[in-house]
Amino acid sequence: MNDRKWNGTWRRVLLAVLSVGMVAWAPARAQSPSRGWAAQIGRTGPQTVLLRVEAMGRKPDDGSGIIIGGNLVLTARHLVMDLPVGAIISALPGVINPPPDFGSAKLLRIVYVSAKNDFALLAPAGQSPGTPTILPTMSYAMGDPLLVIGYPGGESLVSTEGIVSAFRIDGTFATDAATGGGNSGGPVISDQGQLLGILVKQHDRNKDGDIELALVLSSKAIHEELQTTRFAQDFEPAPRNLVPPYLGPPPKTLTFAYRIDATKDDHPGVTPSVRDYQLVFQAQPNYHIRSAHIVSSSANNVATQPEYQIAPDGRSATVTFALRSGPTFDRWRGWLDANLVTDQVLQQ
């Protein structure tokens, strides 16, 4: 082959390779499941409390908890451990609208702090703890649906769905549900309303963008430890069918969060490439989305910032964005980890 033909062939090969790196990618689409959680939110929401821990010289720390008796509150140990003398723990129960008014909150005292697991029991100052009415003894299986309820950001009650993702030998299990600071100590429930456990660690991404799933301390681990304490008589095993059906009215409004989780780690050519993403999230059955906002927790190489569009009938919301990843020889990637937090209204 002469030099002219060789150069021409090489030029065509090089242009073809370059064109692969610059080709426009088809949008990546996803749609959320449409499982209905309104009844479980109506049952558990009023029992879910917003906690605030205040101590001299410290910034207030917000978290969540679940009432498991007339006065007894279950929460994460790391929220209340090693508090200095004079620290104040206060709680606001039920679904609230931001900003929270802690002027009307109940003051709590610590009743029990686990030395082994990340949980603690609280009760109103000057009152008896009472008898638990939710029995934390329920089982679960890989892939089972669940709902995390709590106060991310220390504001209004937010519900996020996910699944049981992995088991651990320390009595916790992982979930892909969207969580944030303030969810710690909040209840994690099954689609039948059983208390599966409490959230003890929110999901995150490390510096390389690898996902670290949220962790839930199982109700089984809590129950087994409480059997060795003076609370043992109040926590007896109960079969799943003892949870009564929810007969109350559905909540008029829901704050429901959907996880936006995308990673572009393909490297198709010798130049950076961009992929468009379009995620469609369905409103809860019999609800429509009135408003929404996006809360980003981790992002890298985002080519187009996320935007959302609520459907005219309010039955869904669509999020669009674009991510960029590096070429074959460099192989850097892009990701977006965020929540679409929606305000949903019951259709009359």
Is 40 a member of any domain?
A: no
Residue 65's pLDDT is what?
95
Decide the pairing of beta strands 158-167 and 253-264: parallel
Is 227 a member of any domain?
A: no
The stretches in the chain having pLDDT less than 50 are: 1-26, 237-242
Residue 33's pLDDT is what?
53
The CATH number that applies at residue 109 is: 2.40.10.10
Is 278 a member of any domain?
A: yes
How is the chain split among helix, strand and coil, in percent rounded to 5? Answer: 15, 45, 40
**Which residue range is the domain that position 339 belongs to?**
253-346
Domain termination site, one of 104, 124, 144: 124
Residue 244's pLDDT is what?
66
- Tally of CA atoms within 13 A in the half-sphere of 206 that contains its CB: 5
Residue 183's pLDDT is what?
93
Is 201 a member of any domain?
A: no
Is 187 a member of any domain?
A: no
Decide the pairing of beta strands 273-282 and 28-31: parallel
Domain termination site, one of 98, 124, 150: 124
Residue 225's pLDDT is what?
86
Domain count, the chain: 2
Is 327 a member of any domain?
A: yes
Locate 290 and state its tokens. 């009135």
Q: Map tokens 């949008």 to a residue.
A: 27
| 161 and 176 Cβ atoms separated by less than 8 Å | no
Residue 324's pLDDT is what?
96
Domain termination site, one of 105, 124, 143: 124
Residue 256's pLDDT is what?
96
d(CA 65, CA 90): 11
Residue 58's pLDDT is what?
80
What are the φ/ψ torsions at residue 156 (nearest 5 degrees)? -85, 160
pLDDT tens per residue, range 292-306: 999 998 899 999 999
